Amino acid sequence: MINFEKLNFPSEGEIITFSSGLAKVPNYPIVPYIRGDGTGVDIWPATQKVIDAAVYKAYGAEKKINWFKVYAGDEACEVYGTYNYLPKDTIEAIKYFGVAIKGPLTTPVGGGIRSLNVALRQIFDLYSCVRPCRYYSGTPSPHKKPQDLDIIVYRENTEDIYMGIEWEAGDSNCIELINYLNKSLIPKSEKLKNKLISESAGIGIKPISKKGSQRHIKKAIEHAKKLTGNKRHVTLVHKGNIMKYTEGAFRDWGYELAVNEFRNDCITERESWILDNIENNNEITIENNARLIEPGFDKLTASKREIVCKEIQDVISSIFKSHGSNKWKDMVLVDDRIADSIFQQIQTRPQEYSIIATLNLNGDYISDAAAAIVGGLGMAPGANIGDNAAIFEATHGTAPKHAGLNRINPGSLILSGVMMLEYFGWNEAADLITKGISKSIEDKKVTYDLARLMEQKVDSLSCSDFANTIISFF
């Protein structure tokens, strides 16, 4: 038990525990919640009502969430004093109870205060940001077939240029670094030696580690293992053709993880290609398969041909028995795509994708682009997940001009609640909410943001009436 400065320890409920990165959820878990600033006052009560109603409908008295109010943002300053945006009580509560849900928080401007969302991710080492993008029938979308997109973006949350290690152009440290690179490090490299960084450049550092990449990709593969059919698919998205030792390494470490740690459950795209050819080839010889697999095989040098033949031989000897005879078709397919091509692919061939595992910056772009295809940020949920904690959150901001007017769309936070219920394994309750939202939208019973995009004129619902309508479809 912990002593809080201003919070009362919950009198009822149990603690969620973690073992090897997996949450063990009791029937009456205590879940801290942060209401959020701005429109948090509207969307949190709506969300809590919907989640409670779904849990009750699904399980009666057998399960119940014991909500525990904790403070962050403007509300925290009211309770704990000026500039106390993220009180120790809140950090201790989330650490102790493990899983939390939050509304949007204002990023304080000036005063050296960093983003509260980024702070929470760093404090709890929530290294995977998970953002599902799926279409709810009837949602206005700029796309002709938004229903074809059903993906989950796994965005690495702790590394990449988001670490903020950068120096402004002209800064003395920046000039010192540029001089060191230009005069000492670059000339030592055969490959780089004619390159020079301009003295007027700003510099940003992009650290990508094997540990950081693999723990994140592991979460994505574990998720894919729970899916069925062609959704058992993880695509590593990177810009490794340009950034070989960061984004390219992310891809290589991903494949290494797939074939080492998940050998019995995974097949790489290349391996599947080899096995497919072997299985459909009457004259099974290594040379024949190599000819089929490697474009321009006959024109390759003898040593390159040898490499391809050895690769095929290795695949046959290592996995033909376990993965052959079409068994590989039921396994998690791991492939990779260059980041720029995935922006095209999710628009032109969305059905081919399921889980996108990518780095921090790519993930930021891709998840917003995917959310736009299925109807915008108002319906895009998010979760930040680590080994000992998880925080579920609305992906939009505080939208201050709508705050307190009971008009904003609570969909993003409600769907984050759905993710939390799925994380608990409370799928029956999660499915009820998904069904309720789908039916509300199909019936055009929606908040102003969706109503204004609909082709026929629709009267919009308030935030609380949207929540009540969702519940009425349970």
Q: Give contact residues for ligand NAP (rule: CB under 6 A).
A: 104-107, 117, 378, 393, 396-399, 401, 408-409, 412, 449
CB atoms under 10 Å from CB of 51, counted, come to: 27
Contacts of 397 (CB under 8 A, 6+ apart): 38, 104, 106
Nearest distance from C-beta of residue 365 to ligand NAP, angstroms: 15
CB contact burial 204-219 (16+ within 10 A = b; e otherwise): eebebeeebbbbbbbb
Catalytic residues: 162, 239, 340, 364
Nearest distance from C-beta of residue 393 to ligand NAP, angstroms: 6
Is 34 within 8 Å of 100 (Cβ atoms)? yes
Query: 121 or 232: whose CB is closer to ligand NAP?
Result: 121
Nearest distance from C-beta of residue 146 to ligand NAP, angstroms: 17
CB atoms under 10 Å from CB of 285, counted, come to: 12
Query: 167 or 466: whose CB is closer to ligand NAP?
Result: 466
Q: How far apart are CA 286 and CA 283, in angstroms?
A: 9
Q: How far apart are CA 345 and CA 337, in angstroms?
A: 9
Nearest distance from C-beta of residue 145 to ligand NAP, angstroms: 23
Query: 360 or 409: whose CB is closer to ligand NAP?
Result: 409
Query: 233 or 396: whose CB is closer to ligand NAP?
Result: 396
Query: 39 or 289: whose CB is closer to ligand NAP?
Result: 39
Nearest distance from C-beta of residue 90 to ligand NAP, angstroms: 14
Is 97 within 8 Å of 59 (Cβ atoms)? no
Show the CA angle centred on residue 392, arms to residues 388 and 396, nearest 5°: 140
Query: 240 or 381: whose CB is closer to ligand NAP?
Result: 381
Closest CA to 396 of 37, 11, 141: 37
Query: 367 or 409: whose CB is closer to ligand NAP?
Result: 409
| DSSP designation for 185 | I
* β-sheet with 355-358: strand ranges across: 66-70, 30-34, 99-102, 390-394, 381-385, 128-134, 150-156, 355-358, 233-238, 332-338, 266-268
Show the CA angle centred on residue 227, arms to residues 155 and 208, nearest 5°: 20
Nearest distance from C-beta of residue 398 to ligand NAP, angstroms: 4
Angle between helices 463-472 and 40-59 (to 10 degrees): 10
Beta strands in 165-231 (DSSP E): 166-167, 203-204
Nearest distance from C-beta of residue 39 to ligand NAP, angstroms: 6
Question: Which backbone phi and psi does 408 adopt, to 5 degrees?
Answer: -70, 160
Q: Sign of the C-alpha dihedral, residues 139, 145, 151, 157?
A: negative
Nearest distance from C-beta of residue 289 to ligand NAP, angstroms: 50
Show the CA angle centred on residue 357, arms to residues 47 and 295, nearest 5°: 150
Nearest distance from C-beta of residue 96 to ligand NAP, angstroms: 22
Query: 35 or 218: whose CB is closer to ligand NAP?
Result: 35
Query: 125 or 364: whose CB is closer to ligand NAP?
Result: 364
- Written as one letter, the residue type at 81 is G
Judged on CB neighbours under 10 Å (0-12, 13-18, 19+), 201 is: middle
- In order of 65, 71, 189, 241, 443, the CA distances from 203 in angstroms are 47, 37, 19, 21, 52
Which residue of this chain has its Cβ atom nearest to ligand NAP in the complex? 397
